[in-house]
Amino acid sequence: MTRNLRVVVLGSTGSIGTQTLEVVRWRGWRVVGLAAGRNTELLQQQVRAFHPQVVYAEADPGPLPEGVARAGSAAEVAAWDADVVVAAIPGLAGLEPVRAAVGAGRRVALANKESMVAAGPLLQEEAQKRGATFVPVDSEHSALFQALMGERRVDVAELILTASGGPFLREPADLDSVTPAQALRHPRWAMGPKVTVDSATLMNKGLEVLEAQALFGFPLERIKVLVHPQSYVHGLVRYVDGQIKALMGPTDMRLAIQYALTYPERAPTPLAGEPLPARLDFEAPDLERFPALALAFRAGEQGGLAPAVLNAANEVAVAAFLEERLGFTGIPKIVESVLARTPAEPLTWENLYAADAWARREAEAML
Contacts of 331 (CB under 8 A, 6+ apart): 197, 201, 203, 292, 314, 317, 318, 321
Q: How high is the pLDDT of residue 70?
A: 95
Q: Are β-strands 6-10 and 30-36 bridged in parallel, bridged antiparallel, or unpaired?
A: parallel
| 15 annotated as ligand-binding | yes
| 350 annotated as ligand-binding | no
Above 60 in pLDDT, residue 273? yes
Angstrom distance (rounded) from CA 215 to CA 110: 10
| 331 annotated as ligand-binding | no
**Residues 2, 261 contacting (CB under 8 angstroms):** yes
Q: Domain spanning 2-136 has what CATH number?
A: 3.40.50.720
Contacts of 209 (CB under 8 A, 6+ apart): 161, 220, 223, 225, 293, 296, 297, 300
Q: How high is the pLDDT of residue 280?
A: 94
| 115 annotated as ligand-binding | no
| 325 annotated as ligand-binding | no
Closest to 245 measured CA to CA, from 145, 165, 164: 145
| 39 annotated as ligand-binding | yes
Top pLDDT among 363 and 195 is at: 363
Residue 275 gets which letter from DSSP? Answer: P
What angle do helix axes 253-262 and 139-148 make, rounded to 10 degrees? 50
| 205 annotated as ligand-binding | yes
The string of pLDDT tens digits covering residues 340-363 is 999 999 999 999 999 999 999 999
Sheet holding 223-227, edge to edge: 223-227, 156-163, 233-239, 244-248
Residue 283 gets which letter from DSSP? Answer: B
| 171 annotated as ligand-binding | no
Percent of the chain residues topping a pLDDT of 70: 98
Q: Where are the alpha helices (DSSP H) in the chain?
A: 15-27, 40-50, 74-78, 95-103, 113-130, 139-148, 180-183, 193-201, 203-216, 253-262, 291-302, 306-322, 330-339, 349-365
| 194 annotated as ligand-binding | no
Q: pTM of whole model > 0.85? A: yes
| 351 annotated as ligand-binding | no
Q: Which residues of 121-142 are buried (b: 16+ CB within 10 A; e: fewer)?
A: ebbbebbeeeebbbbbbbbbbb
| Full DSSP string of 235-267 | EEEEETTS-EEEEE--S-HHHHHHHHHHTTS--
The string of pLDDT tens digits covering residues 222-268 is 999 999 999 999 999 999 999 999 998 877 899 999 999 999 999 88
Parse the chain into domains and list their residue ranges: 2-136
| 14 annotated as ligand-binding | yes
Q: What is the mean pLDDT of residues 269-285?
A: 86
| 164 annotated as ligand-binding | yes
Q: Give the Å distances, CA to CA, from 148 to 157, 159, 227, 247, 259.
A: 11, 9, 21, 11, 14
Q: Is 206 helix (H, G, I), strand (E, B) or coil?
A: helix
| 113 annotated as ligand-binding | yes
Q: What is the mean pLDDT of residues 86-111?
A: 96
- 338: Cα separation from own chain's centroid: 22
| 12 annotated as ligand-binding | no
Q: What is the mean pLDDT of residues 56-68?
A: 91
Q: How high is the pLDDT of residue 86?
A: 98
Top pLDDT among 249 and 154 is at: 154
